[in-house]
Structure 1
Amino acid sequence: MEKNNILLYDKPVSTQKFRPDSEDIWNEATPIGNGNMGAMVFGGVQKEKLQLNEDTIWYGNGGRNRVNPEAKDNYLKVRGLLLDGMVSEAQNLAGDTMMPIPDQQRNYSTAGEVWFDFHEEKEAFTNYKRCLNLNQAIVTMDYEIGAREYRREYFASALHQVIALHQESKDKEKVNGCLTLTFFRSNVEKIEKLSEHIISMTVKEGAEGCRYCIMAAIKNEGGTVEIHRDQIRVKEADSFTIYLSIRSDFYQENPARWCREKLESVLKLSYEEVKCGHVKEYQNYYDRVQFTLGQDNSKEEIPVPERLKAMQNGEQDLGLISTYFQFGRYLLISSSRPGTQPANLQGIWNRNEHPAWGSKYTININTEMNYWPAESCNLSECHMPLFDLIRRMLPSGQKVARDMYGLSGFVAHHNTDLFGDCAPQDTVMPSTIWPMGAAWLCTHIWNHYEYTLDTDFLKENMDLIKEASLFMVDYLFENHQGKLVTGPSISPENTYIHQSGQEGQLCIGPSMDTEIVRDLFRACIQGAEITGCEDELTEKLKKLLLRLPELSVGKYGQLMEWAEDYEEKELGHRHISHLYALYPSNQITYEETPELMEAARITLERRLKNGGGHTGWSRAWIISMWARLRDGEKAGDNFNDLLTKSTYPNLFDCHPPFQIDGNFGGTAGVAEMLLQCQNGYLTFLPALPKNWDCGSISGLKAKGAITVSFVWSDRQITSGSILVEKGGRCCFIKPDSIKKIITDHNVSIAYEGQKVICYGEGVYKIQLLA
């Protein structure tokens, strides 16, 4: 039975009314979201605010051509200088001719704040408790004023497309409240009263950005309601609910009409109907995976900040680890749903008009990491917005390929935005000129197919994989060793020291590029075979694959990051890009490449010895790397470091500042520690720390449309089941503790040592018994 998975806080968050909250204050608030709308709940008693977001509120708009017009005539010259070892000259030329004009894509913005006043009396409150219930996606707030007990509830409903705040008294006292819409921004265009219960505010985002609407409605049980200026006031009610809806014109519809339809629809329902509908819809996603770890439930009534502090002081808290895993799933459900935009650098929760790194889609690791748990943690539908974005990127990426390189196909660099801008971002030599963004994103299409075996989906998206492959075919060139490599490119976002003593970032043939190209070409070849769209391109890719350089081991026994065995300027760099081959790819495994596995281990140890993993997302990636290396103790230690060194009081990941990729990477890391699918075989508990000695997991997904559940005690599997949803072959390594395997009558089963191979038609189940 899964624990309650409730995040408890025992005091409100101190807020700022006339200026933005600091990072520390904001990261004590609690996130709610329904995929496209989000809010941060601060939990104030007399005065409360919700800081609001909607996933299409972006500064500016699309349609700009930012490609440097000199790039097409000069990138080959940059390549030639790099081949000749003239690194400084190459980078100077690239700085002049390849950097974008202007250098910035558009940035994500905020919908601002709405304010609430409760309780005209200024009496002190007691027995305060604020909880985020992950099982229901509801924030509850209980408190007392004098002898009176109150409850407030908050949630964001995907079913009804509203954010709800409900206030009541537990002992039937009358309740009062006031909502104020205006949030002290200059771009509010209009505020109007639409009915006796609905008020609307229209806002224009800067730089000819979107026009959006924030609309509020109140449903009161008893009492009176008044609307004046930008306020809704309710007096002497038995209870009341305020609903908010937010919409922009990005969706090419009338935002005000859309919001009003949602609010008028929800006002026809009772609060309990809205709440129950929200919970049922949310649990359709959340309840698929249940996870328990350890047997100590005593810490569930301790506030989260105290639990984190205790872990920092060396105490064990297995319950917080399992809750953190589910919190990551909660965040993905709450920030990425079919029909919404994908989770950006902060999911959907952003407090600033101009946030750090634009809160964009950083596609040299961070956006991809956001979706690492989507398939394995049984949230495959939450992956879909990413594919919609890739589709939106395609026309821009084709144009950038032509205008910047004179090549065919689809290219993107290390960032994109809501509008699918694929030109380089920034003028930063360690990151800007990296033409692998589209290629990496398109491997997610194949990853989704591997987990779901959805051939219709694969067929619909094969053109994206082919277009990304087409660009790489044109961009690859033969180096001095006769191998096909990329360049100019970088190993994100690292600096090497050339044999001549020059420091450089631009290079020829970084290992990560080759690894991504190998995965992309294989996906294109296999996908074309499955969907029957083989052509000259796929035949060509089969030949080109053979000419890609193999991964190499350097003088320190490490996996080489660059084509040459350069020294690194920063030995503890946060990016460990060349270990992409270890995770998320599976090009390096103990069974197929034991020498490279050892080199990967040495690489990781060198990074950590010199201070690596100091950002939250980097630490999260390292967890999965240790899991692939089957080192449960190191994986567990790094998970503890993620919680104790890179986690805010509300469990948001600390880069710093907040980035959501560390949350998603941490959740994916737990799944990787418990179950792996390598070389076509499932392995149970491949990287289990000693102190995770007992637990259970149900509903994990594996490649091949397979669902896996199991229980363990004393680090041994005691029972389990494997559900093969689309028939065919299922292979797994039999745990030593399992003595009996039961399959459906239509399943054939064979043994090869510890390997168990099952084959059956249609849906079938395999049971494991100790």
Structure 2
Amino acid sequence: MKFPSSLTRLLPLGLLACTLTGISASAQAPAKDSSNTLWYKSPAREWEEALPLGNGRLGAMVWGGIEREKISLNEETIWAATKSPETTLSSEFVHVNKRKRQLALEGKYDQVRKVTPANAGIPPGATITKKTVEGSFRGEIYNPLADLYLHFGSTESIPRDYRRELDLETAVSTVRYTVDGVTYKRETFTSFPDQVIVVRISADQPGKISFSSRMHRRENTDGDEYRWHPSVESRFFKDLPPPGQPVVTVLGPDHFSFNGATAPASVRFSAHFKLAAKNGEVSALPAGFRVKAADEALILITAATDFKGEDPDRQAAAHLKRLAGVSYGELLQRHLNDYQPLFNRVDFSLEKGPASHLPTDKRVQAFQRGVTDARLRGAPRDSDLFKLLFNFGRYLMIASSREGTLPPALQGIWNDSLLPPWKGHHTSDINVEMNYWAADVTNHPEAHRVLLDFFPPRLAEVKPYAEVNYGARGVTFGGMSQWGLRASQSGDWTSFPGWIAQHYWEHYLFTQDRKYLRKVAYPYMKEVALFYLDNLFEYPGRNYLVHGLPEYSPENTFTYRENGVAKPGSASLGTTMSRAIIGELFANTVQASAILGVDAPLATDFQAARSRLSPFKIGRHGQLQEWLEDFEEPEPHHRHLSHLYPVYPGYEITRTSNPALFEAARTSQQRRLAQDSMLTGWSNAWHLCLAARFGDAKLATELLDSFASKFLLGNLFSTHSRQGGSTLCFQIDGNFGVVAGMAELLLQSHDNGIHLLPAKPETWRTGHIKGLRARGAFLVDIHWKNGVLLKAAVTSLVGGRCKVRYGEHVIEFDTVAKGTYALDASLKLTAN
């Protein structure tokens, strides 16, 4: 049986489905409870339909083909890049930044980002300190490792009972189908403890397993153009060098290696493939191996790179050697012993809907029809789909963030293209941060540590940037990549280090780990706060302090008027986001200083500066201004929500702390949503988090509907629109952001205690969630029925005072470490 792609243009739809999938329409697999399982009745036809596996370092996408299985492989450090000279340090930038500030003060905003050392007015004879790095990595692009193909041969029979699934409770992908009375099964997982991808192929009759293997690595970007944007990837395409040709080395009838390098030769990589067959024949092929008439086959895949300077071929071979003699059952059990305690920390349940029994892609399609088809409005919704989406996001976090790995980038650790959207970067103005919004609240602090462990070892390298480029104390940097922190030179975006500082403080609040605060969080926070402190200046004639470096409000622009002429601008002094991050960091650093009993004089300086920061302002539309001036907004519906940072993920503006600003922020969100122009999953997720903070359950319901109907692929990957919305590409931040938003709907702990069900969607009538973590190091279980609280429980991890709120009910009580406290619907303490 063949799968000719050309038939997609020739066959009627019904016949096409049977031809491409090879599945009898009259013999489908029986329905199964899909509570924590993604499942499908046909193989993936493209990469975005495959199912992801990962152990933080190794990634795999399983397609589930019948005659030909395809497993797309990734290793997190396979990046292509060029090396070129870069001036990372120069005191010229001090003059550049002074000139930018002056232009901003003069209202010449269109000139701010045009300042260079050549036109900055550097005095003749000024002493200039410079440092150029000859081999600096530039233009990094995340690359795939390769595709493993397993060819099982053609059959004229129609496969029956096909099922492809990903079990979130085990992190195992399974493909099962029946041909000529024989049921075939393939199981795949990625093991963190053993650092290996495991594939087992079996049948319910002996001697039925026969296949050959083949490796393939893409040589070009043909077919990827639909994901590109004219102003982004297309401009890089002409400079993209062809990749080197990988080499397959046969090391025995049951073992081969696949070695190659990214182009230019930035990273060398190696993958080893080891086969074990039960009975049957095993033989070598020029580029793989062949199995004939076996009862069962086991393939182990290891991979490594020279990212840390070690020989990748030796590393990959050594991984395999350590697994010699280990059975499939042992590998699986070690994998489950590692994975399940992490996944099982949170238990989320919602009522099953009318589509809960459908395959996952059909559930998504049915939900989308329910939202977009006016005839179906008011019909019962598949709320249980959000439980699956919530748990899938947690699964992706575990699969992409494990101890000792890199923080996930725009697509996590999964990518099949030599030029993925935005080159697969670690983008610093929302995406890296959103990837970890859900980590602590969903009780996976180890995942958050992957991000937080990335920065401290690299600060010494970037510390000179603050002193030389800005004339300041402390630390700053302009972004991050897999190789480290980027040089910060001309100040257009210095808020990234401060935004990351919030993650350090939040992690402390959720864990109450003072050792971590002393050794890791506070040193980072203090260094970044010092940089901001030294860059503050008093705005002439206004008696308040602003950040002295003109910055952009991420990716947005404004319109200002100069002599009555409208002009575009992007960088200005005192953006709301910059002000919020600096003020928040000063406050958090002062608190950390008091907790640790250190640096009291410095804390006084931070507090004094914070008290003089520019105020948040309300603009002509009643909105929270995005900029210090009430500029015109060319895009009031812009995808970024940067000026709402002090509502979420920050919380300087709350209903209780400043009701007027809180309502102005809400007006800003409404202006953003006034036009149906949202094109990104992550923006929808951020709106959901804000709706939760605003306590707006109705809006939250609408945003959940929007996310599931616009930004979900059939495999539950979240998407970002390209080409003006005509195509979609995978971007993982939306998956993580929507989990954070759903958690925020059910539990908040940022505003003077624990708040239960602050914005529960109206459609989530009955359910429970167990194991969420609140600030103060409390674990919280919540049960509700018919829309109201039924009962709750709080477990204190370290002891201390606890305050809980639900509606008008409030209770405060002392706790002891490891103590659990049961509460009824009125928040009265009850027996456990």
Fold conserved between structures, TM > 0.5? yes
SS in 2 for 1:641: helix
- Cα distance per residue 1:704-759 (max 9 Å; x no partner): 111000210011111221001100111111456xxxxxxxxxxxxxxxxx321111
Question: Gaps spanning 5+ residues in structure 1: where?
Answer: 15-24, 737-753
Does 2:749 correspond to 1:677?
A: yes
Displacement after TM superposition at 1:388 (Å)? 2.3
Alpha-carbon contact 1:328-1:664 (below 8 Å) kept: yes
Q: How does 1:366-445 map to 2 (within 5 A)?
A: 366-413=431-478, 415-423=479-487, 433-445=492-504
Rounded Cα–Cα distance in structure 2 between residues aligned with 1:255 and 1:61: 20
Residue of structure 2 equivalent to 1:744? none
Match for residue 328 of structure 2? 271
1:550 equivalenced with 2:615 (yes/no): yes
Q: Distance in 1 between matches of 2:584 and 2:204?
A: 58
Q: 1:490 aligns with which of 544, 548, 552?
A: 552
Whole-Å separation in 2 of the counterparts to 1:97 and 1:570: 31
1:482 aligns to what SS in structure 2?
coil
Partner in structure 2 of residue 7 of structure 1? 38
Q: 1:111 aligns with which of 119, 131, 145?
A: 145
Residues 624-703 of structure 1: pairs in structure 2 closer than 5 A: 624-656=689-721, 657-703=729-775
Specify whether residues 3 and 291 from structure 1 end up closer, same or farther in structure 2 by C-alpha distance, changes over 3 A only.
farther
Q: Which AA in structure 2 matches 1:134?
A: L
Q: Percent identity?
A: 33
Distance (Å, rounded) in 2 between the aligned partners of 1:94 and 1:731: 54
Please, which moves more after superposition, 533-542 or 519-528? 533-542
> Is the partner of 1:81 in helix, strand or coil?
helix
SS of corresponding position for 1:181 = strand
Q: Look up the equivalent residue of 1:366 and give its one-letter code.
A: N
Distance 2:156 2:118 in 1: 62
Q: Deviations over 1:291-341 (max 9, x none)?
A: 011144x53431222111111121611111100000000000000111111
Judge conservation of contact 1:378–1:699 (CA < 8 Å) in 2: yes
1:257 to 311, 314, 326: 314
C-alpha displacement of 1:677: 0.8
Per the alignment, residue 449 of structure 1 pairs with 508
CA shift for structure 1 position 106? 2.1
Contact 2:36/2:169 (CA < 8 Å) preserved in 1?
yes
Cα deviation, residue 3, structure 1:
6.7
Q: Structure 1 residue 197: deviation in Å?
A: 2.8
Shift in Å, 1:423: 2.8
Return the offset for 1:645. Answer: 0.4
1:33 paired with 2:33, answer no
Worse overlay, 717-726 or 609-618: 609-618
Q: In the alignment, is residue 226 of structure 1 matched against residue 283 of structure 2? A: yes
Which one of 256, 259, 271 corresponds to residue 199 of structure 1? 256
Measure, in 1, the Cα distance between the counterparts of 2:351 and 2:695: 21
Task: Give me the CA root mean square deviation.
Answer: 2.3
Aligned letter for 1:311? F
Question: CA shift at 1:196, angstroms?
Answer: 4.5
Q: 1:8, 1:301 within 8 Å by CA — same for their partners in 2?
A: no
Displacement after TM superposition at 1:212 (Å): 1.5
**1:475-508: per-residue Cα shift (whole Å, max 9, x none)?**
2221121222122101111111113322100111
Match of 2:357 in 1: 301
- The range that moved more, 620-629 or 247-256, is 247-256
- What secondary structure, in the 3-state scheme, does the structure 2 residue paired with 1:256 have? helix
For 2:439 and 2:416, the matched residues in 1 are separated by 25
Partner of 2:368: 312
Per-residue CA deviation, residues 37-74 of structure 1 (Å, 9 max, x unaligned), is 10111111111211111111122378964548543321
Q: Residues 346 and 660 of structure 1 are in contact (CA less than 8 Å); yes or no, is this contact kept in structure 2?
A: yes
Shift in Å at residue 96 of structure 1? 7.3
1:623 aligned residue: 688
Q: Amino acid of the residue matched to residue 663 of structure 1?
A: N
Q: What's the CA shift string for 1:91-146, capped at 9, x where partnerless?
A: 32259779x99995423222122221113545432321101111111111111222
Which of the residues 277, 289, 296 maps onto 1:239?
A: 296
Instruction: Classify the secondary structure of the residue corresponding to 1:720.
Output: strand
Would the aligned equivalents of 1:61 and 1:210 in 2 still touch at CA under 8 Å? no
**TM-superposed deviation, 1:396:** 4.3
Q: Deviations 1:657-683 (Å, cap 9, x if unpaired)?
A: 211000000011000000001322111
Secondary structure at the aligned position of 1:412 is classed as coil
Deviation at 1:182, TM superposition (A): 4.0
Alignment partner, residue 20 of structure 1: none
Partner of 1:513: 578
Matched, 1:327 2:384: no
**1:346, 1:359 within 8 Å by CA — same for their partners in 2?**
yes
The amino acid of 1:762's aligned partner reads A
CA distance in 2, matches of 1:595, 1:484: 22
Q: 1:183 aligns with which of 203, 211, 217?
A: 217
Q: Per-residue CA shift, 1:151-210, capped at 9, x if unaligned? A: 111111112111111111123452012222342544245432334432212222223412
Q: 2-side partners of 1:275 and 1:121: how far apart?
A: 31
* Displacement after TM superposition at 1:362 (Å): 1.0
What is the aligned partner in structure 1 of residue 113 from structure 2? 91
Match of 2:101 in 1: 79
For 2:485 and 2:778, locate their aligned partners in 1 and report how far apart those are by CA, in whole Å: 36
CA offset digits 1:406-452 (Å, max 9, x no partner): 33322123x42111232369x9xxxx921111111121111111100
Q: How many Å separate the matches in 2 of 1:561 and 1:230?
A: 58
Post-superposition offset of 1:611: 3.4
1:41 counterpart letter in structure 2: V
User: Higher mean Cα deviation, 148-157 or 62-71?
Assistant: 62-71
Compute the displacement of 1:223 (Å): 1.4
CA contact (8 A) 2:40 2:165 kept: yes
1:700, distance to aligned residue in structure 2 (A): 0.4
Give 1:49's aligned residue.
Answer: 70
- 1:755 aligns with 810
Give 1:284's aligned residue: 341
8 A Cα contact 1:328 1:663, kept in partner: yes
| 1:579-601 C-alpha deviation (Å, 9 max, x unpaired) | 01110111111111111111111
Match of 2:204 among 170, 182, 196: 170
Residues 554-586 of structure 1, C-alpha deviation per residue, up to 9 Å, x if partnerless? 111100110011110111100010101110111
What residue is the counterpart of 1:157 in the other structure?
191
Q: CA deviation at 1:459?
A: 1.5
**Alpha-carbon shift at residue 547 of structure 1 (Å):** 1.1
Query: Cα–Cα, structure 1 residues 621 and 122, in superposed 2: closer, same or farther, change >3 Å?
Result: same
Q: Does 1:470 align with 2:534?
A: no
- 1:333-365 residue CA offsets vs partner (Å, 9 max, x unmatched): 000111111111111011122222121111111
Contact map agreement 1:11 1:129 (CA 8 A) in 2? yes
Tell me if the contact between 2:796 and 2:820 (Cα under 8 Å) persists in the aligned partners: yes
CA distance 1:77–1:699, change in 2 (3 Å): same
AA aligned to 1:85 is G
Residue in 2 aligned with 1:743?
none
Q: Is the 8 A contact 1:141 1:152 kept in 2?
A: yes
Match of 2:271 in 1: 214
- The residue that corresponds to 2:798 in the other structure is 726
Structure 2 residue runs of 5 or longer lacking an equivalent are: 1-32, 121-131, 220-242, 371-378, 722-728, 826-832
**Residues 504 and 39 of structure 1, relative CA distance in 2, 3 Å threshold:** same
Q: Secondary structure at the match of 1:603?
A: helix
* 1:492-641 paired onto structure 2 within 5 Å: 492-500=554-562, 501-534=566-599, 536-641=601-706
* CA distance in structure 2 between the aligned counterparts of 1:39 and 1:338, rounded to whole angstroms: 19
